[in-house]
Amino acid sequence: MYHYDDYDRALVAERVAQFRDQISRRLSGELSEEEFLPLRLQNGLYLQRHAYMLRVAIPYGTLSADQLRALASVARDFDRGYGHFTTRQNIQFNWIELEQVGDILARLAAVDMHAIQTSGNCVRNISTDAFAGVAADEVLDPRPLAEILRQWSTVNPEFLYLPRKFKIALCSASEDRAAVMMHDIGLYLYRDAAGEMLFDVMVGGGLGRTPILSQPIRRALPWQHLLSYVEAVLRVYNRYGRRDNKYKARIKILVKALGIEAFAREVEDEWAHIKDGPAELTLDEYLRVAASFQPPGYPPQPAVDLAFGSALARDAQFARWVQRNTHAHKQPGYVSVTLSTKPGADMPPGDATAEQMEQVALMAERFGFGEIRVAHEQNLVLPDVAKADLYALWQQACEFGLATPNIGLLTDVIACPGGDYCSLANAKSIPVAQAIQQRFADPELLQDLGEISLNISGCMNACGHHHIGNIGILGVDKNGSEWYQLTIGGAQGKQSALGKVIGPAFSAEDVPEVIAQLAEVYREQRLGAERFVDTVERIGLAPFKARVYPAQEARA
C-alpha cells in the first residue's frame, strides 16, 4: 500500500493543527456554526441526531493492520466500541464529542490517516475495486493512479467549494466492482495493444434524488492526461454547475441540462488550454507511487493442497464459506477472503466492534501481508491468503462473528445508518435490514436464492445505493410515519441499471414478507441458473407486482 513521505505527513499534521484551531474558535464563539459547517464537513465531521459523527478516510479502501488497530482504538476510546464501514469504503464513528476530535485526528495522523474531504462540497474519497491489485480478472492495478488522484484532489484550492459533493471511482478489471457508473467521474483503466495505459472517462453519474448513470465523455485518454482532464471537468462544473438548489447541484444535472455533447465540448475546450501543461503526469511520478504497490513476495504454494482439499470434503460449512467468501487471485495458490460484517440480527450491516477490528488486523498479519481492504459493500477483505491457511483463518473468523457465508447473497445487505443515527433520514434502515436478515436466516433458502443484492437507504440521498440494488428499499416519510418503497431490477457494474418502483410503499413490519414474496416469484419463474436480476429483466415487473399487490391487480 502507499507509503507516506515527509510531504504527506506534513500535510496531515498541519491539517490536524488547523482544524484544532478552528474547533477552538467555534467553541469560543468566534466562528459561527454557519462559518464552521463547511470547515467541519471537509474534516469529516457531521452533526447527527444524537452526537457528532466523524467519517475517516480510507483511501480506495486500503488499510494496514496498524491503521485498523488505530481505528479500533478510536472506537474503544472515543466512541462506544464500534465503527461503521461505509459504501464509500470509509469508516464512521457515531458518538463523537467535538472537544475530542483534535485528539482523534492526531491519533490517526500518527498512522498516516486523516478525515480530509470525507464530506463537504469537494472531491471525496477516491474509490476502487476492493480486490484491486490482486483480482484474477484485473487488467492492471488501479491503485497508483487512485493515489495520484487522491493527492491531487486533496486541498486543491480551486475546488473546495464546488456546487455539491464530487465522487470519483476507477476500476480496471473485467468486472466493475467499483460501481463506476454511479460516480460524478468514473474511470475505466485498460491497456491498448501497444501496452499503453488508457482511460475511458465517464461523467455525470450519481444516485440521490435524481439517479442517473454516467455517460462516456472521452474514450482512450492516455494516462498522462488524467489530472488535466479531471481538472477540466471540475473547472467546467465549478463555473457552471447549479448552486440555487442543492438537489440540482450535482454534475449529473449539468450534464443532463447541456446534453453530453455540449458538456463534452466545454470540457474539451477547457482541456485544450491545460493538457500539455505542468499537470501532465510524468512517468517518474507514476513509478514513484507505483513502487508502493508492488506485490508482496508470495511464497510459492503447492499446486495441489491435500489438507485444504480434505478440509473442503470433510466440513460442509467451511466449503460453503470458501465458495461464497473467497475471490479468485492473480497468484496461484492464493485467494482474497471477504469477512462478512453482515451476521444478521446481532450487528447492523457494516458495523464492526473494536475487538473485531483488532482480530482482523491480527488475521491480516498472520494469514496475509498485513493489509486489509474495505469493500463498498461494507465488508472487510483480506486480499492475499494462501489456500493452505484458509481453514485456520475460517475458524478464527467464525470465533469473532466474521465468517457468515453470505457474500453476494440476500442477507449481505448494504444499508446506510438510517434514522437511528442520521438527521437527514426519513426512516430507519438498520431494523429493516435486520428483520430481512432474520426472515432469510435459513442457509439452505439463502443459498438457493443465489446472488441477490439488497440495498437500503433511509432517505432520497441514497447512501445505501438503493437504486442499484437488485432489490432496493427506500425509506419514505408519510405524514410522520416511516414507510418503505421497493424497487427491483437495479444492478451495479458494467451492466448497471436503476431499479424500478414496484408500487405503493409498505410498513416496516410488512417488508420482510414482501421480499419473501418477491423471492418466491423468482423461484417459480427462474430458468436454469438464472439470477434474480436476470429473471426480473426477462419477465418484467408484472408477475412480481401481481404477487405483492394481489387486491389491486384483481381490481384492475
Partner 1 sequence: MNNLIRLTEHGPELVSADPWTLVLTEQAPADGPRILSLTAWLQSQPEAVLNGLEVSADAVCLQPDDEAEQLQPYLAVLPLIAVLFPSFRDGRGYSQAYLLRTRIGWTGELRAVGDVLRDQLSHMRQCGFDAFAVREDKSAEGALKGLNGMSVLYGRSAIEPRPLFRRRTRAC
- CA 187 to CA 172: how far, in whole Å? 8
Choose the binding region for partner 1 from 175-183, 283-291, 338-346, 381-389 (rule: CB under 8 A).
283-291
Q: Is 244 one of the binding residues for partner 1 (CB under 8 A)? A: no
Q: Where are the alpha helices (DSSP H) in 278-383?
A: 283-290, 306-314, 316-325, 354-367
Q: Is 277 one of the binding residues for partner 1 (CB under 8 A)? A: yes
Choose the binding region for partner 1 from 281-289, 329-337, 445-453, 465-473 (rule: CB under 8 A).
281-289
What 8-state DSSP symbol labels residue 2? P
Nearer to partner 1 by Cβ, of 275 and 467: the residue is 275
Q: Is 533 one of the binding residues for partner 1 (CB under 8 A)? A: no
Instruction: Report the nearest approach of partner 1 to the CB of residue 14 (Å).
Output: 4
Kindly state the helix (H) or strand (E) to which residue 63 belongs, with its residue range. Answer: strand 62-64
Instruction: Work out the burial of residue 239: count CB atoms within 10 Å of its CB; fewer than 13 is exposed, 13-18 middle, 19 or more buried.
Output: exposed
Nearest alpha-carbon partner for 154 in 224, 227, 98: 227
Q: Binding to partner 1 (CB under 8 A): which residues in 369-408?
A: none
Q: Is 292 one of the binding residues for partner 1 (CB under 8 A)? A: no
Nearer to partner 1 by Cβ, of 244 and 509: the residue is 244
What are the strands, taking DSSP E only, across 97-207? 127-128, 168-171, 185-191, 197-203
Instruction: Report the nearest approach of partner 1 to the CB of residue 231 (Å).
Output: 8
Distances (CA, A) of 15 to 19, 385, 498: 6, 36, 39
Instruction: Report the nearest approach of partner 1 to the CB of residue 1 (Å).
Output: 18
Q: Is 118 one of the binding residues for partner 1 (CB under 8 A)? A: no
Q: Binding to partner 1 (CB under 8 A): which residues in 33-72?
A: 35, 38-39
Q: Out of 1, 22, 167, 548, which residue is the one contacting partner 1 (CB under 8 A)?
A: 22
Instruction: Report the nearest approach of partner 1 to the CB of residue 40 (Å).
Output: 11
Nearer to partner 1 by Cβ, of 24 and 495: the residue is 24
Q: Binding to partner 1 (CB under 8 A): which residues in 462-501?
A: none
Instruction: Report the nearest approach of partner 1 to the CB of residue 13 (Å).
Output: 9
Instruction: Report the nearest approach of partner 1 to the CB of residue 148 (Å).
Output: 8
Q: Is 20 one of the binding residues for partner 1 (CB under 8 A)? A: no
| Lookup result for grid cell 428499499 | 473
Q: Is 263 one of the binding residues for partner 1 (CB under 8 A)? A: no
- CA 17 to CA 11: how far, in whole Å? 10
Whether the CA torsion 108, 109, 113, 119 is positive or negative: it is positive
Q: Binding to partner 1 (CB under 8 A): which residues in 217-236?
A: 227, 235
- CA 131 to CA 506: how far, in whole Å? 37
Q: Out of 89, 90, 238, 325, which residue is the one contacting partner 1 (CB under 8 A)?
A: 238
Instruction: Report the nearest approach of partner 1 to the CB of residue 441 (Å).
Output: 47
- CA 404 to CA 386: how far, in whole Å? 20
Nearest alpha-carbon partner for 512 in 440, 463, 409, 443: 440
- CA 76 to CA 65: how far, in whole Å? 16
DSSP for 388-421 reads GGHHHHHHHHHHTT---S-TTSTTS-EE--GGGT
Nearer to partner 1 by Cβ, of 30 and 97: the residue is 30
Q: Is 247 one of the binding residues for partner 1 (CB under 8 A)? A: no
Q: Out of 50, 191, 219, 273, which residue is the one contacting partner 1 (CB under 8 A)?
A: 273
- CA 27 to CA 72: how far, in whole Å? 28
Q: Binding to partner 1 (CB under 8 A): which residues in 152-181?
A: 152-163
Footprint of partner 1 on this chain (CB under 8 A)?
5-8, 10-11, 14-15, 18, 22, 30-31, 35, 38-39, 121, 148, 151-163, 227, 235, 238-239, 243, 273, 277-279, 281-282, 284-285, 288
